[in-house]
Amino acid sequence: MPGVWERVEERSGRRPHAISHGRPYHIPHKGATIATYWLLQWVGVVLLTAAVVVVFAGWREAVYGAVSIVIGGTVWAGAIMILQSAFAAAPDCLGGRREIGKLRDFFPVGSGALGATAFCSLPMWICLSLIGYALVETNAQIIGLIGTGFAAMIAMLTFWTISVRRFLSQERREERHTRLATRLLAGTALGAMACAACAAVSALVVGDGEMFLGIMALCAPWLVGAAIALIGCRLYLRRLWVVRAPWYETHCAECGYDLSGDLGVAQCSECGTGWRSGAEWGEVGGAQPEA
Ligand SMILES: [Zn+2]
């Protein structure tokens, strides 16, 4: 009886690289890999914070404010790490869908929906500010405008929570989360372009060139932070997708039961969910990790 790896090799003609053979379905040296990545990410974020201070305030201020820059950069890097941990919480867990805790399952939905809402609402707030600048005269109108903005954000958050949940609830967690990270990255780029377009229109209408830079400086930390968080998630989840692919060849994705004793069954003998082996998955084009 050939083992899992031999079967994977036989079917796909290749052995997925970078698989921990001591602990199958796990990324080798996971702890050290994540720690190294987070250290590099922290250094990058602190340097980025320093660069922003140098551009806006000059070298002298950057040198005098070095401690504040390190503290500010550390807080920013910490927020990014928390977002990354939340987004990867469910796919990081090995097992069937029923074996994942409700809270762990909801973390990626919550963080994904928050991210999508953030890059949809940034251009909206720029437009609302422009409307406020041009039309609003009384306090009641200001309150009305801000209220409209928050109501729209709640509507966006509800819409994105439902959409992201539906997208992630499909089979093969690692694959779904990797694809979602890719889409959110594209969404962040689109959000940045929309912000730049809205800021340019605002600056033209008001006739103040400085205004464009001011608006972009307000939007940048959110957009750049989201992009850094998503690039890290994308790199990690893509590796997870590769090392986990063989698990689905022999386990029920619903309850996690090991079906390697008889892969020819039509249903999982533990929970009754319809079973199709990983090889069939490969044939319908669902199993190959994307580049
Ligand atoms: Zn099952």
114 and 163: one domain? yes
The neighbourhood of ligand 1, an ion, using CB within 5 A, equals 252, 254-255, 257, 268, 270-271, 273
How many A from CA of 268 to the centre of ligand 1? 5
The DSSP line for 41-89 is HHHHHHHHHHHHHHHHH-HHHHHHTHHHHHHHHHHHHHHHHHHHHHHTT
How many domains in the chain? 2
- 269 CA distance to ligand 1 middle (Å): 7
Please report, in angstroms and rounded to a whole number, the separation of the first and last CA atoms in the chain: 32
- Identify whether residues 166 and 272 lie together within a single domain: no
Q: How far is the CA of 10 from the centre of ligand 1 (A)?
A: 25
CA of 289 to the centre of ligand 1 (A): 23
User: Does 111 share its domain with 134?
Assistant: yes
Domain check: are 73 and 216 in the same one? yes
Residue at 3 is within a domain: no
Residues 278 and 200 in one domain: no
- The answer to whether position 7 is within a domain reads no
Does residue 142 sit in the same domain as residue 260?
no
- Is residue 5 situated within a structural domain? no
Is 13 part of a structural domain of the chain? no
CA distances 114 to 87, 119, 133, 222, 290, Å, are: 11, 9, 28, 11, 25
Same domain, 66 and 152: yes
How close is the Cα of 97 to the center of ligand 1, in Å?
Answer: 9
Say whether both 39 and 89 belong to one domain. Answer: yes
Q: Is the domain of 31 the same as that of 55?
A: yes
Domain membership of residue 1 (yes or no) is no
Residue 118 lies in a domain: yes
Per residue in 220-278, pLDDT (tens digit) is: 988 999 999 999 999 999 999 999 988 988 899 889 999 888 888 888 888 988 887 65
The string of pLDDT tens digits covering residues 28-85 is 889 999 999 999 999 999 999 999 999 888 999 989 999 999 999 999 999 999 999 9
Rg (CA), the chain: 23
Assess whether 107 and 187 both reside in one domain: yes
How far does the centroid of ligand 1 lie from the alpha carbon of residue 237, in Å? 24
Residue 290 belongs to domain spanning: 247-291
How far does residue 171's CA lie from ligand 1's centre (Å)? 12
Residues 186 and 258 in one domain: no
Q: Binning pLDDT at 50, 70 and 90, where does residue 282 land?
A: low
Q: What is the pTM of this model?
A: 0.85
Q: Look at residue 18 in the predicted model and tell me its pLDDT.
A: 52
Question: Is the same domain home to 62 and 74?
Answer: yes
Share of the chain above pLDDT 70, in %: 88
